[in-house]
Amino acid sequence: MKIKMKMIICFSAICIGCMLIAMLSALTLTRQRFSSMNDVQAETAANFYASEIETWLEQKTSIVDSAVVYMESLDVLEEETVIDYLEALMQSSEGVADVFAAFTDGTFLDGNRLEMGEDWDYTGYPWYTEGLAADGKVLCTPYMDGQMVVPVSRKFTCKNGA
């Protein structure tokens, strides 16, 4: 083979190699840019949906705040009046399964007017223990009770100390 032919082959191989390296570099950079753009878009979408969920949860759990304001305004705890209020509050709130007030003395007032029995002890339930331990509203672990239930609780103290 003549030297001219060898030089053409060598030069062509170098050019093809350089083109392959350039293509791989461009592909890698493009992939990194797309990945970065996707990460930013995913983070933006996640932040948007997190905000939407927080707003929805705040709207749905505002019933707890209303109940606490009512309970803390009471000078005298009249059980039937409280149950009537809890029942009305529950019925006016779509998607709410129950609203109740649980006291440290064992008194349990239920807006559904359920009688749990004298031996029922709610003090071990997360909605009670976590509610007492926190300063604000607590969203507890959801569970199934014929439907999905997300317990929300908040501690309160009536004017009479109950």
Q: Is 44-162 assigned to CATH 3.30.450?
A: yes
162 has a pLDDT exceeding 70: no
pLDDT in tens, 92-129: 988 888 999 999 888 899 999 988 888 889 999 999 99
| Res 131: pLDDT | 93
Task: Calculate the average pLDDT of the chain.
Answer: 90
| Res 114: pLDDT | 87
- Closest-CA residue to 119 (of 128, 106, 131): 106
* Structural domain spans, the chain: 44-162
Q: Residue type for 100, please?
A: F
The pTM of the full predicted model, rounded to 2 decimals, is: 0.68
